[in-house]
Structure 1
Amino acid sequence: MTTPVLDALRPFGRTGVEVTPLAIGTSSWGEERAGESVAERTARVATMADAFFARRLPSNLLDTSNMYGDHHSEEHIGAAIARVGGVPDGLVVQTKLDRDTATGDFGGDRMRASLAESLERLGLDRIPVLYLHDPENIGFEAAMAPGGAVEALVAMKEEGRATAIGISGGPVDMLQRFVETDLFDALVTHNRFTLLDRSADALLDAAAERNVGVTNAAPYGAGVLTGDPRFADRYGYRPIHPETRAALERMAALCADAGVELAAAALQFSLREARVHATVVGPGRIERIAETERWATAPIPDGLWSALEAARPPAEVALDRL
């Protein structure tokens, strides 16, 4: 029975930076919440951002995107960076190039505009790890076309505006095609390597073979694996398949019998995977950090892992196969 060491650093593949097992995700930073005023939202997010840059969170990697929080996430991060006078040594901010959400434009010129917007919001002149975000919106061929999004991203690295570049998206077969070009230093995959979905296995193998830094996002399947009843009807942002729900119920019962929180097993499933360098969690308020640390370090009997493996749903109900 072993538990993760949350302050341990490991090389993030070939990116040239080192990361902690946990990464802090900011997809909800800046989003409106029911009953919350703008001032309350700003204060809540500022508390999280300031805690990260003051090294009070169990992570050195902050994951954001041009479009997160209705385009406001980077603004909050930039304000925190300004308050501390620059990103402290040893902390890493990674962001993503995004399509124009109004027009759907995902071309090379839009990628350059996306970078310019991110640099301005963050107050930085370069990005340590910069990703192409959700290329499934246009597909592999269009993204790889001359003058397209990938060509623009590669040029950003050559120009020194990004130290390392990566690919971030959903469908694993498409992501694997990108990884196999060997153009990318880093990868973000989400919802496809959890207790309920192992369809990213071949993708993780392809990344490991090329020393690509891997960030695994959504280890809770967008909430359902926390056991929170608010998320009981969905997995990976989609209605949950009946066989997936049945597997979830089996896993919850196994965890309860072992005295382990389901969320702890879900998080540590990702943390204990050697092919994953960092696992993205997205606590929306500072009070959730202690809960995340508890889940990340809770003792889990070795025998529970084999039982959970046997309880998982059939491969044909994975997200990309439905």
Structure 2
Amino acid sequence: MTPTPAPGSPTWTRPLGATGLSVTAVTLGGSPLGSIPRLYGRDVPTDEGVATVRAVLDSPIRALDTSNGYGDGESERRFGAAFAQAGGVPDDVVVMTKVDPRDRDYSADRVRASVDESRERLGMDHLPLVHLHDPENFDFAELTAPGGAVDALVALKESGVIGAIGLAGGRVQEIARYLALGVWDVLLVHNRWTLLDRSAADLLDEAVGRGMGILNAAVYGGGILAAPGSSTTYGYRQAPPEVLDAVAAMQRACAEHGTDLRTAALQFSLRDDRFASTIVGMSRPDRVQATVDAASAALPEAIWDELEALLPPQRVWLDAPFDR
């Protein structure tokens, strides 16, 4: 563990593995900007979404993450509109996106089309980092077959159309199969290394051993750690009683230390030096400065042992550890 990074500190900007890219400790997560009310409980107006990206461009946060499929491309469109208003992507900003299937089509042709769509929406000729997104929802043999989706993404990198390639997904047992292919520069995990869940432990060890850059997303578990009491779901599914009890106990512990659970959940990830960056979803301009402030807040060291003791049992984590 390292001290929590703050803007201006030596650890605020970090290398992303061996990609040659440098990212800030916090990355804007663009999923809420796709306006997906079934996940986030509200529609995000276009002007508000664009204003949120503009607020990030004016902040110490210099990394932004989106995906072809967020809101059927709406997140990328809003990113692109913000970049256009700003006169282009600033030189010190890293933009990451993901390829997504369409109508269950995750073929090589679809991967190439997804990249072209993203380039057009974002207004970028070259994409510095593109992830294969949620492949665990498809047949492994099909996506990894010669001439399939994985080969297509590798070929796009080798041709220089895109820069680094990453693997972004959830269920660790399936993601481990893709990781073993050995073609990836970056691993993105979500919901599986938080105050409430450590499902990604073995997966992270594997990625570290391969020298990959690692990104940690959804550190609030979909909202339950950001606004305790407003949600009873974790990782987009109903949270079991043990998780709800842990949230309540952690909330009390944070209050006793003069902080809140949202701040502790963010800093839990930020202080882990395996992660080049922590991806935080934001859909309102005011959340940008609030997130920077939370990243910079001074928390007592004693809080971490107390929160660790409240970790729910492994049987209620999203995934059981995978076998190597």
* Residue 5 of structure 1: aligned partner: 6
Ranges of 4+ aligned residues in structure 1 off by more than 4 Å: none
1:253-302, Cα deviation, whole Å (9 max, x unpaired)? 21122222111110000000111110011121111123212321222111
Q: Is the counterpart of residue 97 in structure 1 residue 96 in structure 2?
A: no
Change over 3 Å in CA distance of 1:14–1:4 after alignment to 2: same
1:69 aligns with one of 68, 71, 74: 71
* Residue 299 of structure 2: aligned partner: 300
Q: Which amino acid aligns with 1:192?
A: R
Deviation at 1:117, TM superposition (A): 0.8
- Alignment TM-score, normalising by the size of structure 1: 0.92
2:85 aligns with one of 47, 67, 83: 83
* Residue 216 of structure 1: aligned partner: 216
Change over 3 Å in CA distance of 1:48–1:175 after alignment to 2: same
Q: Is the 8 A contact 1:6 1:22 kept in 2?
A: no
Deviation at 1:33, TM superposition (A): 6.2
Q: Is the 8 A contact 1:192 1:198 kept in 2?
A: yes
Alignment of 1:1-322 (within 5 A): 2-7=3-8, 8-31=12-35, 41-53=45-57, 56-100=58-102, 103-231=103-231, 233-321=232-320
Q: Is the 8 A contact 1:244 1:317 kept in 2?
A: yes
What number of residue pairs does the alignment pair up?
Answer: 314
Change over 3 Å in CA distance of 1:226–1:84 after alignment to 2: closer
Q: Is the 8 A contact 2:4 2:270 kept in 1?
A: no
Q: Distance in 2 between matches of 1:291 and 1:228?
A: 17
What is the RMSD of the two structures over their aligned residues, measured on CA atoms? 2.1
Deviation at 1:30, TM superposition (A): 3.7
Q: Distance in 2 between matches of 1:5 and 1:150?
A: 37
Q: Is the 8 A contact 2:55 2:288 kept in 1?
A: no
Q: Distance in 2 between matches of 1:109 and 1:41?
A: 32
Q: Is the 8 A contact 1:30 1:41 kept in 2?
A: no
Q: Is the 8 A contact 1:205 1:275 kept in 2?
A: no
Q: Distance in 2 between matches of 1:253 and 1:48?
A: 31
Deviation at 1:181, TM superposition (A): 2.1
- The alignment partner of 2:279 has SS state of strand
Q: Distance in 1 between matches of 2:139 and 2:205?
A: 22
1:229-251, Cα deviation, whole Å (9 max, x unpaired)? 221x1111100011111222221
Q: Distance in 1 between matches of 2:138 and 2:158?
A: 24
Change over 3 Å in CA distance of 1:310–1:70 after alignment to 2: same
Q: Distance in 1 between matches of 2:197 and 2:160?
A: 37
- Alignment TM-score, normalising by the size of structure 2: 0.91
Instruction: Decide which moves more: 267-276 or 136-145.
Output: 136-145
Deviation at 1:126, TM superposition (A): 1.5
1:117-141, Cα deviation, whole Å (9 max, x unpaired)? 1111112122100010010111433
Q: Distance in 1 between matches of 2:141 and 2:312?
A: 32
Q: Which amino acid aligns with 2:74?
A: H
Change over 3 Å in CA distance of 1:32–1:12 after alignment to 2: closer
Q: Is the 8 A contact 1:25 1:64 kept in 2?
A: yes
Q: Distance in 2 between matches of 1:139 and 1:22?
A: 33
Q: Distance in 1 between matches of 2:132 and 2:263?
A: 30
Q: Which amino acid aligns with 1:4?
A: P
1:73-94, Cα deviation, whole Å (9 max, x unpaired)? 1111112222333222111110
Mark the runs of 5 or more structure 1 residues left unpaired by the alignment: none
Q: Is the 8 A contact 1:172 1:200 kept in 2?
A: yes
Q: Which amino acid aligns with 1:120?
A: E
Q: Distance in 2 between matches of 1:29 and 1:191?
A: 19
Q: Distance in 2 between matches of 1:26 and 1:163?
A: 20
Q: Is the 8 A contact 2:64 2:94 kept in 1?
A: yes
- The alignment partner of 1:294 has SS state of helix
